[in-house]
Chains A and B, each alone.
Chain A
Amino acid sequence: MHAPVAPVREPLIEGHKSYHNITEDLCSPTEKAPSLAWIIAFVVSVATMTFGLFSLAWTIWFGIGSWNLNRTIGWGYDITNFVWWIGIGHAGTLISAILLLFRQKWRTGVNRAAEAMTIFAVVCAGMFPATHTGRPWFDFFMFPYPNTRGPLWVNFNSPLLWDLFAISTYFTVSLLFWYTGLVPDFATVRDRAVGFRKKMYNVLSFGWTGSAKHWQRWESLSLVLAGLATPLVLSVHTIVSFDFATSVIPGWHTTIFPPYFVAGAIFSGFAMVQTLMIITRKILNLQQYITINHIESMNKVILLTGTIVGVAYLTELFIAWYSGYLYEQFAFFNRAMGIYWWSYFGMMACNVLSPQIFWVKKYRRSIYITFLMSIFVNIGMWFERFVIIATTLARDYLPSSWSYYTPTWVEIGIYVGTLGIFFTLYLLFTRLAPVVAVAEVKHILKTAGDQYIKQRATDNHASEVVKESNH
């Protein structure tokens, strides 16, 4: 008895693929010499990364004074970029953990790349808290351990410390999850390889033989990691939001921050997945695995989370008025009409208004519009963090200390540099590992392959179904 599939479902694997075709299509990119496009992209990414590392070296050599932070605006580009990158990572965890629990089969087309993106994004994010202290060689002070400095302990009441734990846990679990999925695929690559590559993938695949016992353990481990990762989807950005919301700064201290930050993180994460996948599927010729149907599903997630974020923005705005609290009211007036009005406008336009075009099916299924929108959302979510951080700090309780912040070339250089790091790592990943999870795609072939799904739909004709249900 095969599992029935509703006739209204679209296939997730196109082109009448056999298991062999899947292996060939997904493993071959790691076996060929890189294309010219890859080489150009890699050179550009490494160059950008180098500039970022130079800017970082400049910061460490000359100190935080090379940034434009001042006594009013103590956080600027650094924490904006940190939150932006952490948010981007969230799509990978959502796809790998939450969508697994919700049995969404379309996740298999994009989970591998999205999880890789998560890890690279957290690497980029982690650089900012590590360097914004100005003395990164003292960063080990952030960890609580018995020490000879007094002993001087970290402040356990500080959400910044909770963030350190949250993000390091998140990174560890995401890495394990990603690597666990890679093990059988590395074995597949190994079995096709010769010479040094064979040795390398043999080590990477931990001697996987594909025995039933291996698969059984692999499935148990995947489920345990999914269980661990699910609360992490919520907890990481929740604790990032605590960094702001535990303070008594108007515009920061608002109780909706935790779930609203999580929704925004998933929103920006899916936008980055779209940006990456649209290019990747084209260059590696994966259109039959990452189909228009996948892109449409992700656009729906973007529409949903964009609207949730919209509900949160309007809730904040409304409650600021409703509270009758003068400073809260001013904070929101200042966001929309103050000196940084353009960033608020950019945020609203890119995050709430523009995703609404995805109500139209034609646009959801358009590659060009999806790509353009994914860039819009990335920009909008960056603006959101800038609005929250810079706009709020620029106008604090004391008008005498009001200020305006613009970044220096060093700050911009570090930010651009993290994009370089991110793309360098991603490009290396596309060369070393199958970008789409081979084993997991094979697992859904019989229920989501186009040659099977049509046959299934006719098999499960309504009359037969009702007959079965009556006994």
Chain B
Amino acid sequence: MSGDHTFSMTGRERNVLFGFMGLGLLCIVLTFFGDDAVHSRFWSNYLINAVFFTGVSFVALFILAAFTTAYTGWYIVVKRIWEGYAQFLIVGIILMLVLIIGLWGHFHHLYHWADEEAVAADPVLLGKSGFLNKYWYTFGTLIILGTWYFAFARPMRKLSLREDVEGHDANYSLYRKYKWFSAVFLPIGAFTSAAMIWQWVMSVDAHWYSTMFAWYTTASWFVACMAITIMLVLYLKGRGALPFVTTEHLHDLGKYLFAFSIFWTYLWFSQYMLIWYANVGEETTYFHTRINEYPVLFYGNLVLNFVVPFFVLMRNDTKRKAGTLFFVALVVLLGRFLDFFQMVKPGVLHTTHEALAHSGEAAATEAGHHASHFTAGFTIPGLLEIGTFFGFLALFIFFVFKQLEKAPLLPKNDPYLAESLHHHVQ
């Protein structure tokens, strides 16, 4: 906590984070051994968390790029935190690699389109096989995630750190270079993230499609990123690491949480209402399944992600009180997890039943009427799911702390630093 604003993790923090990581691992192992024959609960939990945290780090990079391009000044005091998130993309590559290996080795049955026999017998899946295939999944994921990390997140971080050491020439060339990377990343990120979301998440319901889906998921990531940021900033401030972050900055972060919760709800409503209104069977099946078989997920999603942030954060003062803001951010973070849970689980369960029925397991009879049954870890998140999520969250925070240790928390030569330090909302 010197004048340089350096950060180092305390032993206690390390222990707590490792404790949660251990708990997560334990939950993963327990899930694996208590699972069905194709380990659908284990793999779907893994998919949800891998996509969730990879997405949060992608969105952090996207926020940095968007703010830089828009000449934003106020956020410089939390810039290092988002830089830390963006570096997590390297872990994201490794997490997704596990899913890719699973795909090639047929270790999991997350994706109906990965079952060659099923595809051959299904004209719809056959029609999509030009995109939904293991080659696209593998190389798309590796090339796109690789581009995000190696071509943008890492070089941008390096530029930002160089700025600390080298300062500025008359032309602010380091800042201008950072801005160049930011502007270029915006369209690349926008196009490629859509392709990855279709592969990773939407193809879980392999027959279903919605043009809104990519933007919906990105909005969900965005809100998740803001929720984690608010909690982390409040924690770090409480521990004295971010003395320059004031109520004014928290107010603005709170506004982003509020505004983008509404924006997500707008996308949710647009997608739901249009599908409900047109009433085309191929499309309504998605919501029909969720409303009838997963009502807790369907309605809980709206309560946690819209009702709570909307009504609590509507007032001015709730965005300026640490306790209230932390509470809402926590609720929303759990809500975001629930959103990804409801995107992934119903499709995976369906695919699992088909796979089990196909392989002549005892569950075959169940497949016909699985709809009305409660399935642990699918119908609602169980303790194992929550434990796994906190394990991944601890991994994410640990990684971010490691990044924060590498550089001062205040980018002292950023051209907007003065604006950010003197930021006033009211």
Contact = CB atoms under 8 A, between A and B. Distances in A.
A316 B209 CA distance: 11
B172 A8 contact: yes
Contact of B415 (A7, A253, A254): A7
Given A248-B278, A322-B131, A324-B127, A256 B211 contact: yes
B190 A311 contact: yes
A462 B413 contact: yes
A257 interface: yes
B194 A315 contact: yes
Contacts, number: 120
Contacts of B280: 248, 253
A348 B190 CA distance: 18
A258 B270 contact: yes
A470 B3 contact: yes
B167 A255 contact: no
Given A6-B73, A8-B175, A246-B278, A322 B416 contact: no
A319 B244 contact: no
B191 A255 contact: no
Contact of A468 (B191, B275, B421): B421
A308 B415 contact: no
A343 interface: no
Contacts of B421: 4, 465, 468-469
B196 interface: no
A245 B270 CA distance: 10
Interface string B187-223: 1001100100010000000000111111100000000
A212 interface: no
A258 B131 CA distance: 26
Nearest to B213: A255
Contacts of B119: none
Interface in B214-260: 214-215, 243-244
A469 B419 CA distance: 12
Contact of B187 (A1, A255, A300, A307): A307
Interface in B32-86: 69-71, 73
B167 A4 contact: no
Contact of B209 (A4, A7, A307, A319): A319
A311 B191 contact: yes
Contacts of A1: 422
Contacts of A37: none
B212 A256 contact: yes
A325 B187 contact: no
Interface string A241-253: 0100111100001
Contacts of A323: 209, 282
A346 to B, nearest CB: 22
A3 interface: yes
A95 interface: no
Contacts of A238: 266, 270
A253 B274 contact: yes
The list of the 6 closest CB pairs from A to B, nearest first, reads A256-B211, A255-B212, A4-B418, A324-B127, A460-B418, A258-B270
7 contacts: A3-B424, A234-B266, A246-B278, A248-B280, A311-B191, A324-B123, A465-B421
Given A7-B172, A255-B271, A359-B183, 5 more contacts: A6-B419, A248-B280, A258-B212, A307-B186, A325-B282
